Structure 1
C-alpha cells in the first residue's frame, strides 16, 4: 500500500486515498464479518471492554482480537477511550445479537460472498451469469440469505405500517408476494391483532418464514401458498394490501409489469400495493447504494437491475394504479405506496 506521506492532502489537488480505500474495501467486509462471527459487538455491549477479556470471551487469540479491534476503530464501529473499548452508537443499535434490527447475520453472509466476485469479469463480458441464484427455488443459500435480510426490512416495514395506519386498520387481509422471511407479515400482524396475512413464495422459503413468524407469536394469523409468483394465480379482489419487497430488482421490466397487473386484480377496489426496493433517480445519478447494487443483480440474476422511479411509475400506471408516491426510509430502500 502506498505510504501515507505520498497521499497528498493540500489544496484541491486529487489524492489517491479514496481509490485506495475502495480497492481495499474487502478488508472492511472481512473485519466486520469476522467480528460478527465471533460476537464481538455482543461481548462489548455486555461490558467486556479489553482485548484480553474479549479474546477470552470469544475463545480466540488476543493478537487476532487486537487486529479486529484496530480495524473496527478504523471503521468507526468501535470507540477506544482510556484503554477501554465500546461499541459506537451504530454498532450498539445494529450489530448486537438479540436486537430486532441486528445486522450481524447479514455481515457474516456478505463475508461468504466475497469469493463470488471473482466471476464478475466474465459476467460483465457475457451480460448474465451462467446460473442465476435468485431464480432457483432449492438453492441452499436461501436459508442464510432470507434470515439475514429479515432485520434489514424491519425499519421499512415499520414505516410502511405508519403510512398505512396498519395498527388501526381493523380486519384487513395482507398478501406478501415473494415474502421471504415473512418480516412484513410478522411486523404488521404484531401491530394489528385483527389482521391476517398470506405469503406466496417457494416451499423452502415459506418453511423459513413459518418458523420466523412463529417466533413473533403471530403464526395463527399467517398462512403460506407454496409456488412461483410468476405463474401462481393471485385471485380477484381478495386483499386489502399487497407487498412486493426486494423483488423488483431481480426481475426484468416485463415480469414486473405482469406482477403489478396481477396484483391490481387481486386487490380490493381501494386496495394498496407496497413496494420496497433500492430505487435510483431517473437520471441514474444516485443514490450511491442503489447504483452499486446493480452489479449484484448482474452477478446473480439474468435480467435484474436497480430500476428508476420513472420505471416504477410507468409499470404501475399501466397496471391501473393511479396514485403512486415514494417514501424514503433509514435503510437504502425506498417505499412506494400505490393505489
Structure 2
C-alpha cells in the first residue's frame, strides 16, 4: 500500500502505456507475502527502538543474511522499512501499525491474511453459481488442531481491527449518561467492550457469542485485567432467546460486523431481540460495510466491493442502509442515522430505542 508511482510512471499509466495488469499479480501477492513473513519473524518488533544491520537482524531472527537481505530490500522498496548507512529502520507506517507494543497493532490481522486469501480460491464458483462456496470459521468443526488455530487467528485478527476502528467510534459516539450496562452482541474477542469499559469507568459489559468466541474474549479480558467489568454468556444469537436471561435492561448495545454474516430475515429477528434488551432511550450502535454507502475514493469502492464478494463466498452479504433502517424501525428504534468512517469502506449506524410512554402521551 505505501508503494508510490513516480511522475513518469503515473503519466504512463494514465496514458495506458504502462502494462499495469502485468504488475498487479506479482506485486500484490509478493508484497503481502513479504509483509506476512516479516510479521511472523518479528522483524518490525526487532527494529522498534533502533536500526540494525543485516548481520544483527540475521543473528537475532535466526535467518541467512543474504536471504534476509532480499526481504529487507523489498520492504524498503514497498515503504515499510528505510535504510540508512547500512542500517534498517521502521518507517512511521510500520512503527504505528506493525509493532506489537503499539495500541493499533495490526500484526494479528496480517497473520490471518493467508486464511483470508484462501477465500478467493472459490471466486470461480461464486461467479458461476452465486452460492456460498465455503463455511465461515464459526461453522467449521473445531475438533482438529488446525481448525482451532484457524479460529484463533480469526478472532485475533478481528480484535486487531477493533484497535483501529474502535477509537474513532468512541470519539464520535458519546454514550448516554449515566451508562452502566453495555451488551456486546456477537462480540467474541471482547476488544470493543474493553475499549468502551476503559473509556467509561462506570460501565460494565456483557458479551454474548458462541463458545469459541467466548473463549477468545475471556483471554482478552484476562490479559487486560477487566474480569470484574466484562462478563460472558454463551449463546447462539440467531436461535437463542437471549433477552430472557437479563433481568435488567441495557443502556447500550453493540452490533459490530454481524450484519454481513446474516441474511435479512435473521438480522431483523436478532435486532428485534437486541432492542428488547435496551431501556427506553437506549443506544444501539451498528458497524458494518453497507452496499449503498457513499464512496469517497477508489480505495473505499474497492474495499466495499471486495468485502461484498468475499462475504458472498462464505454465505453472507453486504446490506444497503435502507434495509438496516427498516430492521431497526421494525424493532422499535428511532433517530436512525448513518455515519461514514475514516476507515475506507466502513460506516456505523446509531439508533435510539423508542420511548413508548412518550409516544402514547403524544397521541
Taking structure 2 as the reference length, what is the TM-score of the superposition?
0.83
Q: Secondary structure at the match of 2:31?
A: helix
Equivalent of 2:319, from 307, 314, 333? 307
RMSD value over aligned CA atoms?
A: 2.5
**Contact 1:80/1:86 (<8 A) preserved:** yes
**Contact 1:281/1:287 (<8 A) preserved:** no
Structure 1 residues 280 and 84: CA distance shift in structure 2, 3 A: farther
Match of 2:23 in 1: 21
Please say which of residues 28-37 and 317-326 is displaced more in the overlay: 317-326
Match of 2:35 in 1: 32
Equivalent positions of 1:118-137 (< 5 A) are 118-136=121-139
Match of 2:347 in 1: 334
Deviations 1:107-144 (A, max 9, x none): 11103443443232124323233541245165422211
Consecutive unaligned residues of structure 2, counting only runs of 5 or more, are 1-8, 143-147, 353-363
Could you tell me how far apart the structure 2 residues matched to 1:112 and 1:55 are? 28
Q: Secondary structure at the match of 1:323?
A: strand
Equivalent of 1:241, from 245, 248, 252? 252
Could you tell me how far apart the structure 1 residues matched to 2:279 and 2:98 are? 40
Please say which of residues 46-55 and 238-247 is displaced more in the overlay: 46-55
Q: Secondary structure at the match of 1:200?
A: strand
Equivalent positions of 1:18-97 (< 5 A) are 18-24=20-26, 25-97=28-100
Could you tell me how far apart the structure 1 residues matched to 2:138 and 2:241 are? 19
Deviations 1:178-228 (A, max 9, x none): 102101111111122221111110112101101111211111121111111
Could you tell me how far apart the structure 2 residues matched to 1:273 and 1:326 are? 12
Match of 1:317 in 2: 329
Structure 1 residues 113 and 322: CA distance shift in structure 2, 3 A: closer
**Contact 2:97/2:107 (<8 A) preserved:** yes
Please say which of residues 274-283 and 182-191 is displaced more in the overlay: 274-283
Shift of 1:324: 1.9
Structure 1 residues 69 and 219: CA distance shift in structure 2, 3 A: same
Q: Secondary structure at the match of 1:60?
A: coil
Could you tell me how far apart the structure 2 residues matched to 1:313 and 1:15 are? 46
Could you tell me how far apart the structure 2 residues matched to 1:207 and 1:8 are? 49
Count of residue pairs brought into register by the alignment: 330
Q: Secondary structure at the match of 1:100?
A: coil
Shift of 1:280: 3.7
Consecutive unaligned residues of structure 1, counting only runs of 5 or more, are 1-6
Match of 2:6 in 1: none
Taking structure 1 as the reference length, what is the TM-score of the superposition?
0.88
**Contact 1:249/1:306 (<8 A) preserved:** yes
Please say which of residues 130-139 and 102-111 is displaced more in the overlay: 130-139
**Contact 1:156/1:276 (<8 A) preserved:** no
Shift of 1:12: 4.5
Shift of 1:252: 1.5
Match of 1:250 in 2: 261
Equivalent of 1:295, from 309, 322, 344? 309
Match of 1:158 in 2: 167
Please say which of residues 54-63 and 36-45 is displaced more in the overlay: 54-63
Could you tell me how far apart the structure 1 residues matched to 2:14 and 2:291 are? 29
Q: Secondary structure at the match of 2:255?
A: strand
Deviations 1:13-47 (A, max 9, x none): 21454323332311122011001000111111131
Equivalent of 1:218, from 202, 215, 226? 226
